[in-house]
Amino acid sequence: MAFICWRITKNHLEDLINEGFVIEKEQVFNVIAEYLCFLIQSIDRLVFKTLSTEQRQELINKLAKQSAFYYQENKEDRIGEGNHWKAFVNTYNQRSQDYSDYDFVGGEPDYHFLRYFAEKVKSAMTDVDEKWIVQQMIEIQAPKAFKKISESVDDLVNVKSIISKDEQIKRKKEKIPRSKRKSTRQNTIIKNKSSSDHIT
C-alpha cells in the first residue's frame, strides 16, 4: 500500500509539472511529503469502520514507516545524505494531528480537509504559482489522488481481514482440489488466525 501511495504521488508530480507548475529540486520532496501525508490520512479514514482500532493503528504505522523509508531512499539519491527519514516522520506526526481537525463526509474528505492539503502544497512550492496551485489541488489533484487511493483500499480491505498478496498466493497453492478434499461430514475444528496477522 505504501508503494501505491508513492506511485500516486510520483504521477501527480508529473501532472503538476506538465500543467506548467514550477517545482524546484528541493521543493519536490516537500510536495512528496505532503502528498504522502494526505494519502495515509485518507487511508486511515477509509478503513475506520472496517478495521479494529488495533488493526488500523498497525496498518497506518507500517504505512508511515514504509513511506519514510521510500522518502529517505529517494531523497538521498536525488539531494544527498541526511536524516530524511526523521524529517518525514516529524512532518507526518504534525500533519496527522492537524488533519484530525477535518472531516470526511459521505466517505470522502470534506472541503476543509482538501483545502488544508492544498495550502500545505502551496507552502512547499515556489511563490510564482501560489495564485493557482490551491485551486488546482482542491478541484483536480486532491480528488483525483483520493479516488485512486480509495480504489486501492477497496481492493485490499475486507471487512474481516486484510490479507497480503503473499498470503493470497500461499493459500491458492495450498488449496486442495475438490476431488481430493475429505468429507465435510467429519467433525472438523478450524482454527482461524486473527486478521491482525495479515495486515500489509
Confidence check: pLDDT of 200 > 70: no
Residue 27 is assigned to a structural domain of this protein: yes
Mean pLDDT (the chain, rounded): 81
129: pLDDT confidence band, cut at 50, 70 and 90? low
d(C-alpha 58, C-alpha 30), whole Å: 25
Joined together, the cell numbers standing for residue 46 give 477509509
Q: How far is CA 19 from the centre of its chain?
A: 24
- Count the domains in the chain: 1
Interval 32-36 mean pLDDT: 97
Residue 182 is assigned to a structural domain of this protein: no
DSSP string spanning 48-89?
A: TTTS-HHHHHHHHHHHHHHHHHHHHHHHHHHT-SS-HHHHHH
> What pLDDT, on a 0 to 100 scale, did the predictor assign at position 127?
74
Interval 40-66 mean pLDDT: 92
Q: Name beta bridge partners: 104.
A: 109
Residue entry with cell 501560489: 130
Q: At what angle do helices 84-99 and 111-124 cross, to 10 degrees?
A: 150
Confidence check: pLDDT of 164 > 60: no
Instruction: Fill in the DSSP letter of residue 137.
Output: I
167's CB contacts (< 8 A; 6+ apart) are 198
Tally of CB atoms within 10 A around 199: 22
The parent domain of residue 104 ranges over 2-159
Which helix (H) or strand (E) segment holds residue 26: the answer is helix 25-46
> What pLDDT, on a 0 to 100 scale, did the predictor assign at position 179?
52
199: pLDDT confidence band, cut at 50, 70 and 90? very low
Helix ranges (DSSP H) in 79-187 = 84-99, 111-124, 130-136, 142-156, 165-174
Tally of CB atoms within 10 A around 160: 10
Residue 199 is assigned to a structural domain of this protein: no
Residue 176 is assigned to a structural domain of this protein: no
d(C-alpha 31, C-alpha 37), whole Å: 10
Residue 72 is assigned to a structural domain of this protein: yes
Beta strand 108-109 with 104-105 is antiparallel
> Is the pLDDT higher at 157 or at 99?
99
Confidence check: pLDDT of 66 > 50: yes
Residue 33 is assigned to a structural domain of this protein: yes
